[in-house]
Chains A and B, each alone.
Chain A
Amino acid sequence: MATTATVHAHAAPQGFIRKYIFSLDHKVIGIQYFFLALTAVFVGMFLSLLMRIHLIWPQAVLPLVGEIKPETYLSLLTMHGTIMVFFVLTTAPQGGFGNYILPIQLGAADMAFPVLNMLSFWTTFVGFVVIIAAFFVTGGAPLHGWTGYPPLSAVQAAGPGEGLGADLWITSIAIFCLASLMGALNFITTTLDLRAKGMTLMRMPLTVWSWFITAILGLLAFGVLLSAGILLLLDRNMGTSFYLPQIVVNGVVMQHKGGSVLLWQHLFWFFGHPEVYIAILPGMGVASQILSTFSRKPIFGYKAMVYAMLAIGFFGFMVWGHHMFMSGMSPYSAFIFSVLTMCIGVPSAIKTFNWLGTMWKGHIRFQTPMLYAIGFVSLFVSGGLSGPFLAQPVLDIQLHDTYFVVGHFHLIMGVAAIFGIFAATYYWVPKMFGRMMNETWGRVHFFITLAGTYAIFMPMHYLGMAGQTRRYSQFTEVAYQAKLIPLQTFMTYAAIITIAAQFIFLFNLFYSIFKGPKASDNPWESTTLEWVTATPPPHDNFGGVTPVVHNGPYEYGVPGASKDFVMQTDPPVAGAGH
Chain B
Amino acid sequence: MGLALMALIWLITLVSTYFFVAKTWWLPVGASAATGFIDGQFALTFVLMGIVFLAAQLGLGYIVWKYKETPTSPPVAYSHGNTKLEILWTALTAILFIGLNLMGRPVWAHERLEPADADAVKVEVTGMQFAWYFRYPGPDGTFAKTSVKLMDPSAGGDAAVGLDTNDPSAKDDVVTGTMYLPVNREVDLSLRAVDVIHSFFVPQLRFKQDAVPGLNIHMHLKPTVIGDYEIACAELCGLGHYKMHGMVHVVSQEDFDKWLAAREAEKQ
Judge whether B56 is part of the interface by a CB distance below 8 angstroms: yes
**Contact across chains for A152 and B209 when beta carbons are under 8 A apart:** no
Judge whether A469 is part of the interface by a CB distance below 8 angstroms: yes
CB distance from A398 to the nearest CB of B (A): 6
Interface string of A336-352 (1 = CB under 8 A from B): 00110011011001101
Q: What B residues does A395 contact at CB under 8 A?
A: 38, 41-42, 45, 104
Judge whether A285 is part of the interface by a CB distance below 8 angstroms: no
**Contact across chains for B245 and A245 when beta carbons are under 8 A apart:** no
**Contact across chains for A152 and B210 when beta carbons are under 8 A apart:** no
Interface string of A279-315 (1 = CB under 8 A from B): 0000000000000000111111111100000000000
**Contact across chains for A557 and B208 when beta carbons are under 8 A apart:** no
**Contact across chains for A356 and B59 when beta carbons are under 8 A apart:** yes
Interface string of B237-248 (1 = CB under 8 A from A): 111111101000
Whether A481 touches B232, Cβ cut-off 8 Å, given contacts A247-B148, A249-B195, A331-B108, is yes
Which residue of the partner chain, among B60, B154, B238, contacts A356 with CB atoms under 8 Å?
A: B60
**Contact across chains for B234 and A401 when beta carbons are under 8 A apart:** yes
Judge whether A273 is part of the interface by a CB distance below 8 angstroms: no
CB distance from A332 to the nearest CB of B (A): 7
Residue of A nearest to B27 (CB): A465
**Contact across chains for B25 and A463 when beta carbons are under 8 A apart:** yes
User: When chains A and B are docked, how far (Å) is the Cα of A377 from the Cα of B86?
Assistant: 18
Q: What B residues does A359 contact at CB under 8 A?
A: 63-64, 67
User: When chains A and B are docked, how far (Å) is the Cα of A304 from the Cα of B82?
Assistant: 10
Judge whether B47 is part of the interface by a CB distance below 8 angstroms: no
CB distance from B35 to the nearest CB of A (A): 10
Q: What B residues does A377 contact at CB under 8 A?
A: 60
Q: How large is the interface on A (under 10, 10 to 19, 20 to 34, 35 or more residues)?
A: 35 or more
Judge whether B261 is part of the interface by a CB distance below 8 angstroms: no
Judge whether A224 is part of the interface by a CB distance below 8 angstroms: no
**Contact across chains for B152 and A478 when beta carbons are under 8 A apart:** no
**Contact across chains for B213 and A393 when beta carbons are under 8 A apart:** no
User: When chains A and B are docked, how far (Å) is the Cα of A484 from the Cα of B26?
Assistant: 11
Which residue of the partner chain, among A388, A471, A564, contacts B45 with CB atoms under 8 Å?
A: A388
Which residue of the partner chain, among B34, B212, B233, contacts A328 with CB atoms under 8 Å?
A: B212
Interface residues of B in 8-28 (CB under 8 A from A): 8-9, 12, 16, 19-20, 24-28
**Contact across chains for A471 and B9 when beta carbons are under 8 A apart:** no
**Contact across chains for B243 and A302 when beta carbons are under 8 A apart:** no
CB distance from B38 to the nearest CB of A (A): 6
User: When chains A and B are docked, how far (Å) is the Cα of A363 from the Cα of B245?
Assistant: 57
CB distance from A447 to the nearest CB of B (A): 7
Judge whether A433 is part of the interface by a CB distance below 8 angstroms: no
**Contact across chains for B60 and A374 when beta carbons are under 8 A apart:** yes
Whether A248 touches B151, Cβ cut-off 8 Å, given contacts A356-B56, A394-B37, is yes
Judge whether B222 is part of the interface by a CB distance below 8 angstroms: no
**Contact across chains for B153 and A385 when beta carbons are under 8 A apart:** no
Interface size on B, residues (CB 8 A): 102
Interface residues of B in 195-233 (CB under 8 A from A): 195-197, 199, 201, 203, 206-210, 212-215, 217, 230, 232-233
Q: What A residues does B86 contact at CB under 8 A?
A: 301, 304, 350, 353-354
Judge whether B76 is part of the interface by a CB distance below 8 angstroms: yes
Judge whether A88 is part of the interface by a CB distance below 8 angstroms: no
Judge whether B142 is part of the interface by a CB distance below 8 angstroms: no
Which residue of the partner chain, among B56, B69, B212, contacts A327 with CB atoms under 8 Å?
A: B212
**Contact across chains for A260 and B214 when beta carbons are under 8 A apart:** yes
Which residue of the partner chain, among A143, A259, A467, A481, contacts B239 with CB atoms under 8 Å?
A: A143
**Contact across chains for B97 and A346 when beta carbons are under 8 A apart:** yes
Number of residue pairs across A and B with beta carbons under 8 Å?
334
**Contact across chains for B12 and A454 when beta carbons are under 8 A apart:** yes
Whether A334 touches B101, Cβ cut-off 8 Å, given contacts A356-B56, A359-B64, A478-B245, is no
**Contact across chains for B148 and A388 when beta carbons are under 8 A apart:** no
Q: Interface with B: A174-182, A190-198, A364-372, which one? A: A364-372
**Contact across chains for B45 and A392 when beta carbons are under 8 A apart:** yes
**Contact across chains for B76 and A361 when beta carbons are under 8 A apart:** yes
User: When chains A and B are docked, how far (Å) is the Cα of A389 from the Cα of B42?
Assistant: 8
**Contact across chains for A261 and B215 when beta carbons are under 8 A apart:** yes
User: When chains A and B are docked, how far (Å) is the Cα of A487 from the Cα of B152?
Assistant: 40
Which residue of the partner chain, among A303, A378, A398, contacts B206 with CB atoms under 8 Å?
A: A398
Which residue of the partner chain, among B77, B81, B102, B107, contacts A304 with CB atoms under 8 Å?
A: B81
Q: What A residues does B129 contact at CB under 8 A?
A: 158, 249-250
User: When chains A and B are docked, how far (Å) is the Cα of A443 from the Cα of B63?
Assistant: 19
Q: Interface with A: B87-95, B133-141, B181-189, which one? A: B87-95
Max chain A Cβ within 10 angstroms of own Cβ: one of B2, B77, B86: B86
Max chain B Cβ within 10 angstroms of own Cβ: one of A244, A354, A378, A397: A397
User: When chains A and B are docked, how far (Å) is the Cα of A155 from the Cα of B194?
Assistant: 13
Interface string of A152-176 (1 = CB under 8 A from B): 1001001110000000000000000
Q: What A residues does B76 contact at CB under 8 A?
A: 295-297, 361-363, 556-557, 564
**Contact across chains for A251 and B152 when beta carbons are under 8 A apart:** yes
Whether A152 touches B89, Cβ cut-off 8 Å, given contacts A253-B149, A398-B208, is no
Judge whether A479 is part of the interface by a CB distance below 8 angstroms: yes
User: When chains A and B are docked, how far (Å) is the Cα of A259 from the Cα of B215?
Assistant: 11
User: When chains A and B are docked, how far (Å) is the Cα of A480 from the Cα of B203?
Assistant: 10
Interface string of A368-404 (1 = CB under 8 A from B): 0001001001100110011011011111011011100
Interface residues of B in 50-107 (CB under 8 A from A): 52-53, 56-57, 59-60, 63-64, 67-69, 73, 75-83, 85-86, 89-90, 93-94, 97-98, 100-102, 104-105, 107
Q: What A residues does B60 contact at CB under 8 A?
A: 356, 374, 377-378, 381
Interface residues of A in 98-145 (CB under 8 A from B): 143-145
Whether A378 touches B57, Cβ cut-off 8 Å, given contacts A296-B76, A395-B104, is yes
Interface string of B29-40 (1 = CB under 8 A from A): 000001001100
Judge whether A521 is part of the interface by a CB distance below 8 angstroms: no
Judge whether A149 is part of the interface by a CB distance below 8 angstroms: yes
CB distance from A209 to the nearest CB of B (A): 16
Judge whether B258 is part of the interface by a CB distance below 8 angstroms: no
Q: What A residues does B1 contact at CB under 8 A?
A: 366, 371, 443
Whether A326 touches B151, Cβ cut-off 8 Å, given contacts A300-B81, A301-B81, A478-B232, is no
**Contact across chains for B68 and A466 when beta carbons are under 8 A apart:** no
Which residue of the partner chain, among B9, B148, B217, contacts A246 with CB atoms under 8 Å?
A: B148
**Contact across chains for A397 and B38 when beta carbons are under 8 A apart:** yes
Whether A462 touches B25, Cβ cut-off 8 Å, given contacts A71-B239, A363-B76, is yes
**Contact across chains for B75 and A559 when beta carbons are under 8 A apart:** yes
Whether A487 touches B25, Cβ cut-off 8 Å, given contacts A261-B213, A328-B215, A388-B100, is yes
User: When chains A and B are docked, how far (Å) is the Cα of A317 from the Cα of B208?
Assistant: 26
**Contact across chains for A298 and B38 when beta carbons are under 8 A apart:** no
With A328-B215, A338-B104, A400-B234 already in contact, 10 other A-B pairs whose C-beta atoms are closer than 8 Å = A70-B242, A149-B235, A160-B239, A262-B215, A300-B80, A301-B86, A339-B98, A363-B69, A401-B199, A450-B8
Can you list 25 A-B pairs, Cβ within 8 angstroms, ordered by A?
A70-B241, A150-B196, A248-B153, A248-B162, A253-B151, A297-B78, A304-B81, A304-B86, A328-B212, A335-B108, A342-B98, A359-B67, A364-B69, A378-B12, A382-B53, A385-B52, A392-B101, A394-B38, A395-B45, A398-B42, A454-B12, A465-B27, A477-B243, A556-B78, A559-B78
Query: Which residues of A approach B to under 8 Å, CB–CB?
Result: 69-71, 74, 143-145, 149-152, 155, 158-160, 244-251, 253, 259-262, 295-304, 326-328, 331-332, 334-335, 338-339, 342-343, 345-346, 349-350, 352-354, 356-357, 359-366, 371, 374, 377-378, 381-382, 385-386, 388-389, 391-395, 397-398, 400-402, 443, 447, 450-451, 454, 458-459, 461-463, 465-467, 469, 471-475, 477-481, 484, 487, 556-559, 564, 577
Please name the 5 residue pairs, one residue from A and one from B, whose CB atoms are nearest each other, closest first: A245-B214, A467-B203, A301-B81, A462-B25, A331-B112
